[in-house]
Structure 1
Amino acid sequence: MEIRPGRIVGILVGTVVILGLGVYGPVTLLAPLPAVQASVVDALDPAAAAAPPVLPADGASAVVVSGSSTPVATAGITDPVPIAGVAKAIEALVVIDAKPVAVGNTGPTLTISNEDYADYIDYSKADARAIPVFLGETWTEREVLQAVLLGSSNNHADTLARWAFGSVDAYTTAAATWLTAHGLTGTHISDATGLSGDTVGTATDAARVADLVMSQPTLAEILSNPATSLVNNRGVDNTTNEYADLGVFGISRSFSDPAGVCFLFTTTVGTGETSTTIAGAFLREPDYDTLPTDLKAFVTGAQTGAAPVAVVAKGASHAHFRAAWGAEANGVAGADITRSAWQIGSAGAKVDLDAFSTGLEGGLVGHVGIAGGPQVPLKLDRAIKDPGLGWRLMHPFAMISSLIAANR
């Protein structure tokens, strides 16, 4: 039989069409649909923003939410300034890291040397804060830390530095390493006492030091249970617990000519689940009479700003979804999250979205909430349905791209 060229071409074309349909059809009909395009509409309710706290107009001040390294608010001078007794709080942290003492334990003992006794005489003559010591007597590490933290004793600060690191110079080197490791890069330690104008730090660093002290179990326990006496009934005049009536827990209150009045503290605002612990530092306060006025203004404003608000409101839209075939829907919160404005400001928002192509009304498509805190489901406010066979057949490139992406 004679085979004509046209017949051959027809057979080939038919074969290609049949094979093409055999591949095209299954790909477009069976490949997964493209995932919807998603965008975050908003993170947290803008109305829930924290009211600015009232911080001193003079000096340098900062507050942080406990556990956070980012200040909630700052005021005044942002550059490093002399920090007076804040240096002793830093020393306590550096020493307790190098020479740990468990809560309730005394730690090792140290013997008062000629140099230690000479320091006591020199600081006393200079009218700087000093607690009596005598040559040859012994103190435990805990007792020296009590003298440094509760009594702001300058001679004990030097004694502690020499005992722990061999010399005050060696201590300042160790302190620099510790500060760098904790991200307190705005602080420089030149002595153990903080009397030097070259021992400086930022208010933000100082606020974080306050938080770190109260996060250290042994130091927090020492501060929470002030000693009425030390070795041989030597009294410790507690310099920290001055403003309990304001709801403030004092950590360090000090003064030097270069630094002015400096105060480290914590306070808790709000109640129940909305309560928040705040650590703060007021540096370069002009005098002791101004400090309680500034503290009261801050605490009053902080309590007002701690009022509970709905951070995430049930039914509020936090994401928008659009499918390649035109279907649209919103991701809405499935429940409320109530927090204080202080907690909102410190934590920030977090929206996690799931990848999907179709979904039923009310279907789970992600979560929304506070970073590091509670999350609630995001649900579709309307269904995103399959577009059907017609759309699949008319959009081969989209279907093929989806198939390739699914198999990567």
Structure 2
Amino acid sequence: MSSFRPVRLISATVGALVILSVGVYGPATLLGPLPEATATLVTPPAGEAVPFPPVLPATGGSAVIGLATVAADPAAPETTTPDAAALATTLPLAVAGSAEPLPMAAATKIVTALVVLDAKPLALGETGPQVPITAADYQDYLDYYSTDNRTVIVFPGELWTETELLQAMILGSSNNHADTLARWAFGSLDAYTAAANAWLAEQGLAGTHVADATGLSDDSVGTASDLARLAGLAAADPVIGAILSQPASALVGQRGVDNTTAFLPEAGVTGITRSYTEGAGVCFLFTAQVQGPDSVYTFAGALIGEPDYDTLAIDVTALMESARAGVRELPTLAQGDAYVEFSTPWGAEASGTVRTATTTYGWQAQAPGDAEVTVDPLSTGRAGKTVGRVTVDAGGAPVTSTLVLDRTISPPGLGWRLLNPVPMISALIAANR
């Protein structure tokens, strides 16, 4: 007959638990994953990035937006060239005056050019289809001419290529050619304005609206920031860029035009459209360049609602003087600067530092904002291991560099693993989630 012995049961239970604990605890602590290091973002000492904002007039509305930085040597690779499609969402370097949509005069014709080219694309060097001049086109010419609005003469039955129509509208600011292009591409002026406003919305230019193809209507309006972006889109279009680079009498097979776009080229300015109406005042869309020893910086701008051309000359000259002062080699990310500090439960420490120093030639129009840092999880790593990325703003363009460990984070010894079950078991659980 057997008897119940509690001591033997307790001993057996304890023994089983010890064996089980050793069987689980040992492998978990000695062979399991290590807990991740704690990452703390830090800010390195500020560099010498004193802003030089663009000088813009307070009257009307004005804005400038960065376009590109390229190597001064044409054979060298480009250093920075933002995608043209990104211009619609790129923040301006500066905005002044009214932020409300204002009448934009012949800036409307640049919308017409871009929308027509979107519907009837041309490859660089192509002349495009021949477009017959209709009785309605000729009547437009007579009507605009009789009211002293800009025209280029046409006659019924003439054939103008798409390129010639664009040349007359862009270089000569021809109102009758704007209507001809709109009717030819879309069937009617109403169909054109519907298509143009849809295109503006697609480009993110919500502050711009067209009521005609010419800009003679004060209901064709735009914000300065939108129109600076529009100037950038026009400059990025190869067909429009080629037209702007041509001489005033560039029409092939048709009558020449006076170039209404050129303005202060000696100061590095390339006009895209320059016009005046009573409702809009003087409106000017342009690009400009500042050349450094090794790079060329290009920006686009819009000045609308200027009172007269003399004031426009003063304001553009002041803007270019501020550009030559503000555009320079910008230190953006200094090699060795730390943006994150790592610490481990076993006492190891290291920093995530910039691998390679970067500079950019650009316009530091505003004080640099906070850096954007992404950190990769890690427990250990050798010095030089990539542990994340840092991005900072440099004159309106993002500059990114990898972050690397400045010293090795070694694993802990066996003693620490055995004596610290909580972080080890927690790491094992986290790894198996």
Give the 3 Å change call, closer, same or farther, for CA 344–80 of structure 1 in structure 2. closer
Equivalent residue, structure 1, for 2:97 = 76
Work out which of the residue numbers 191, 194, 198 in structure 2 matches 1:177: 198
Q: What does the per-residue CA deviation read over 1:344-392, in whole Å, with 9 as the maximum and x for residues that have no partner?
A: 9699755342221123344432333457866444232333332323332
Aligned to 2:71: none
Letter in 1 for 2:7: G
How far apart are 1:226 and its partner, in Å? 3.3
2:422 match: 397
Counterpart check, 1:368 vs 2:390: yes
> Secondary structure in 2 aligned to 1:275?
strand
Tell me the equivalent position of 1:293. 314
Counterpart position of 1:331: 352
Match of 2:33 in 1: 32
- Per-residue deviation, residues 222-249 of structure 1 (Å, max 9, x unmatched): 1112351536652200011221111011
In the alignment, the residues of structure 2 paired with residue 131 and residue 216 of structure 1 have an alpha-carbon distance, to the nearest angstrom, of 24
Aligned in 2, Cα 1:183/1:106: closer, same or farther, shift over 3 Å?
same
- Structure 2 gaps of 5+ residues are 68-81
Match of 1:264 in 2: 285
Q: Which residue in 2 is equivalent to 1:51? A: 52
- C-alpha displacement of 1:257: 0.8
Q: 1:309 aligns with which of 300, 305, 330?
A: 330
Letter in 2 for 1:364: T
Match of 1:355 in 2: 377
Structure 2 counterpart of 1:13, one-letter code:
V
Cα 1:231–1:23, aligned 2, differ >3 Å: closer, same or farther?
Answer: closer
Name the CA distance, whole Å, in 1 between partners of 2:294 and 2:377: 33
SS where residue 384 of structure 1 aligns? coil
CA distance in 2, matches of 1:101, 1:148: 16
Deviations 1:160-214 (A, max 9, x none): 1111111111100000110111111100100110011110010111011111111
Which consecutive aligned stretches of 4+ in structure 1 deviate over 6 angstroms post-superposition?
343-348
Corresponding residue SS for 2:48:
helix
Report deviation, 1:334.
Answer: 2.5
**Given the alignment of the two structures, is residue 130 of structure 1 paired with residue 130 of structure 2, yes or no?**
no
* 1:41 aligned onto 2:42: yes
Number of the residue aligned with 2:412: 387
- 2:228 is matched by which residue type in structure 1? A
CA contact (8 A) 1:45 1:311 kept: no
CA offsets 1:288-319 (integer angstroms, 9 cap, x no match): 00112111111121122111122111121121
Which range moved further: 87-96 or 209-218?
209-218
With 108-117 and 394-403 compared, the bigger mean Cα shift is at 394-403
Q: Residue 356 of structure 1: SS of its match in structure 2?
A: coil
Partner of 2:77: none
Question: Offset of 1:272 from its aligned partner?
Answer: 6.2
After TM superposition, give the deviation of residue 268 of structure 1 in Å. 2.2
Q: Helix, strand or coil: the match of 1:150?
A: helix
| Distance change >3 Å, CA 63–CA 344, structure 1 → 2 | closer
Give the SS at the match of 1:403.
helix
1:277 aligns with 2:298: yes
Q: Which residue of 1 aligns with 2:72?
A: none
Q: What is the rounded CA distance, in whole Å, between the counterparts of 1:135 and 1:281 in structure 2?
A: 36
Q: Which residue of structure 1 aligns with residue 14 of structure 2?
A: 13
* Cα root mean square deviation, aligned: 2.4
- After TM superposition, the score normalised by the length of structure 2 is 0.88
Q: Distance in 2 between matches of 1:205 and 1:338?
A: 29
Alignment-mate amino acid for residue 322 of structure 2? G
Distance 1:225 1:345, change over 3 A: farther
How many residues are paired up?
408
| 1:319-341 residue CA offsets vs partner (Å, 9 max, x unmatched) | 12222334332222232111134
Show CA shifts across 1:53-90 (max 9, x none). Answer: 11112110111112432211111100100000110001
Residues 52 and 365 of structure 2 are in contact (CA less than 8 Å); yes or no, is this contact kept in structure 1? no
Q: Which residue of the partner structure matches residue 164 of structure 1?
A: 185
What is the Cα deviation at residue 5 of structure 1?
2.1
Q: What residue in structure 2 maps to residue 62 of structure 1?
A: 63
Match of 1:220 in 2: 241
The 10-residue stretch of structure 1 (354-363 or 208-217) with the greater mean CA deviation from structure 2: 354-363
Pairs within 5 Å for 1:87-236: 87-230=108-251, 233-236=254-257
What is the one-letter code of the residue matched to 1:59? G
Deviates more, 1:83-92 or 1:213-222: 213-222
Runs of 5+ in structure 1 lacking a partner? none
